Structures are given as structure tokens and as C-alpha cells.
Chains A and B, each alone.
Chain A
Amino acid sequence: MDKVMNLFLCGVGGQGILLASEVISSACIHSGFDVKQSEVHGMAQRGGSVISHIRFGEKVYSPLIEPGDADLVVSFELLEALRYLPYMNSNTRVIVNTQKILPAPVATGMDTYPADVLDQLKQRKLSVFPIDAFDIARSIGETRAVNMVLVGALSVFLPIQENIFMQVIEKRIPEKIRKVNIDAFLKGKETVRGMRTDS
């Protein structure tokens, strides 16, 4: 891999994006890549929009992905995928959790939630992989494992072996909830692999 790979994660404060980023970045290190991962804390934790940039490759300089340069986008919430369209290009693969979390203006009835998010993405010829990560996490018995479902889904497209992810999860996630997180990862991976038609 001579090119730096750009992963863009977006969603809502409290969805575990930062832990997911950490797991992915650690897996990148353990696979021998240089990595930079950037997120912004602060106000975003109060239910605001959250993004995380992960870049890995031989040598990474800038911590920030340029607009239009994301290779992979993982949107932890349906609507958030649309917010970050300018980071995508026609080759970007977009994994979208179809879970809806209403932004405050929608919850208070001042604005409406767009009805056709997936269509809007597809109209721009993006390869979209919709996945109901919340439902998958619920079926495993831990709704907070949504983030690991999505990491598993993303792993399908990364040059990183499954056992490396397993080692990282083993190290980073407390014993009590490790098993559900591993299950979540595997379920996410399996779901997206089933959708893949391009290899």
C-alpha cells in the first residue's frame, strides 16, 4: 500500500466513535502502519455531531483528511452521512448505520428529518452499505456495542487481519463486556461481507 488510506468516522456524541477510532488505529499500528487519528472533544460530547479522521500508511503527515479524499466513511447515524458529503468522492465506500438519532431541532418539531438519506447517497453513485447496527447490537444483548458492529463492518475493507482486531479488542475492552463486543464485531463484518459485490 503506497497511498495513505483515509477513514472518516462520523456520528453523534455518546455513540462510542472515539473508542471505535482507537480500536481501528491500534489495529493499524499493530499491522505496521504509521497512523494519525484526530477528533475534536468538547461541545461535541453534548449530543452534537462528532467526527474522527483516521489516516494510515507508510508515512502520514497531516492528521486531517482533505475534503473529497475519504476512501471509507462510516456514519454511525443515518443523517450524519449526508452532512459530510463534501469529504466523499465517487469512489468512496460509505457504511451507514440506519439508526436515527433526532437532532434537537427535529426533536422539538422545528425541522424535519430527511426521508431519503440512502437515496441521496446512491444518487451520487457512492457505494453504500446500509447496516442496522443498533438492531444487530440489540440482538446480541448489548445496545452499546453499536460501535463494534461498525468496526467489524469497516474491517471488511481494510488491509488488516481479523486476529489483529481481536488482539486489540482483547487488550482494550474490559473482560466483562469483551465477548459481546467480539460478537458485535463479527456480526458487523459478516453483514457487510454479504453485501459486497466488488471483490
Chain B
Amino acid sequence: MKGKISSFVVAGGKQIELVVQDDQCKPELATNAATKLVSDGAKVVIGHICSGATKAALPIYTEAKVMVISPSATNPELTQSGQYPTFFRTIASDDAQAKLGVDFAIGKLGAKKIAVLHDKGDYGKGYAEFAKKFIEEGGKAQIVLFEGITPGAVDYSAVVQKIRQSGADTVMFGGYHPEASKLVSQIKKKRIEVHFISDDGVKDDTFIKVAGKDAEGVYASGPKDVSGLALNKQAIEAHKAMFGTDPGAFFDSAYAAMLAAVNAVAKAGSTDFDAMAKVMRSEKVDTPVGTIKFDARGDAEGVGFSMYRVQNGKYVEMK
């Protein structure tokens, strides 16, 4: 999990200059990177990758009126608290995922008793807490278990037995694929019949490869499938031509962030924040994640999540 941030400084002849910093997803390094970018005169920052690091760095950008567009920081507070007026993102926030998961569990799967688990991490626990909130507000299902598991523990069977004991028909898990695959295979090993719903951290092909046949039937939410878009294909081709490899995670949304930023600079004709922000909030841009514009809070309209299900060793979008 590297946290590469790039930002650009626009010079006289609309020449974009890239300045790249790495914050390794650590808050203390993120503030260092942010101060460096600000002191180098960056006007637009594409990043940061991790929510925690973004949170740490944002006050610095807010003060310097630097536009920040994150492709991957999904923490809801970043846009909903209103504390960071210069922040935009090209990915939907966590609560949207939890909402989708809960609606799907109750509406489509008819869940009555839900066990909510998380990995005690920032991302996973946030997802779990939102899921809990939506389930309680909806009042159609009850939460029979809400618990954190320890990443790196030698064995999860006690927690898995607890799931059985709680009589849950559905498990919602907030966290990443390493723990998810352990949980799923333990659940299968212990012959427990439950639906397993998780988040974007699990919607990763590695999860299927690690969990193997145990992964069949697992649901995970992830960004809408945009691989059919022409622009998306083009972007991936360009990446392959340039670096000779397949692009990594968040490539689409980072590319989208870059396009939106370039568009804002070009249309505004300057790197003045207010002028750029006006463009961001009013003009639609075609990007690899769809045609987007930003709302007043900085969330992208037109970017969202779909539910995916593992079928024959592949994630398939549920229509």
C-alpha cells in the first residue's frame, strides 16, 4: 500500500509540471509531503490515497487554497463535515457502500439477522458502523453480532463459532481481503450457511484466488463496472503502452481526477482555486469512471457502487 501523490504546478504556458511525493499512507509523512507540495507551489493535488493520510494533510491544503482530488480516500467525513472546502474525490464514500450492502442484504437476500464484523481498522470499522446505523434505522432486520476481529491472529474459529451461535443468516464484513478470505474459508470449514457481504477492500481478484472455491457466492460492493467505456479502455491501453504493465488499483479514478483537474484549469484559464472550483461544480467531464461533475461538498455525481457476486471464480456485477 503505497500512497503516491502527484500534483501539478502550472507554469506560464499552460505547461503542467508533475511533482510526486510518497506518504506511505502515514499521517505524519502525509503532512510532510503536503507542506513540501505547498511550498513547491503546487496548485492541484491528485491524492492522497489513504483516508487517514488525507485527513492529516487537508488542513494544510485548505489553508493554502490548493485543490485536492483524491481517487481513493473514501472516508465520509472528508466531504460531509464541510471542514475541507478544497477537497474533491472521484470515488464514492464509505457510507454509500454500507447503504448499498444493507439494502441489498435486506431487500434482495431477505436478511433478518445480520452479524456485522470488522477488522478494527479505520476503513473496515467505518463500514461496519455505517452498516449498523443503516440496519438500525431501517428496522427491518436485527443485528445479532457486532464485533472486531484481530488481523494476524492465528485462528478465527472462536469468532466463527460465535456467528453460528448468533443464528445470523447474513454476515457483513468491513475490512480487506486477507482477513475476509480467512473468515470465509473458516465459515465454510465449519459448515455454516450464511450470506457473506463485504466492501471494496474485498472486491479484489486476490480474494478469489486466495479463498479459492470458498469464495463462490460472496458478495462485495465495488465501484460500478466501467470497463465498457471507451475512454476507460483507451486509458488502460495508454498505460500499457507507456509502462508495459497493467495499471494498479484506483487507476481509473486517479485518471478521472487528473482529467477533471486539467479540464478545470483549462476552462478557468487560471489556477485560482475559486475559478477552478466553479468549473468542477458546473461542468461535466467524460472520464474513465463515467461522465462526472462534483456536488457542493466535493463528492462526484455519477460515481457509485454496484454489488458484485463471485461466480465461477470471477466477480460479476449484479444488475
The finding on whether chains A and B are genuine partners in a shared complex, rather than unrelated, reads: no
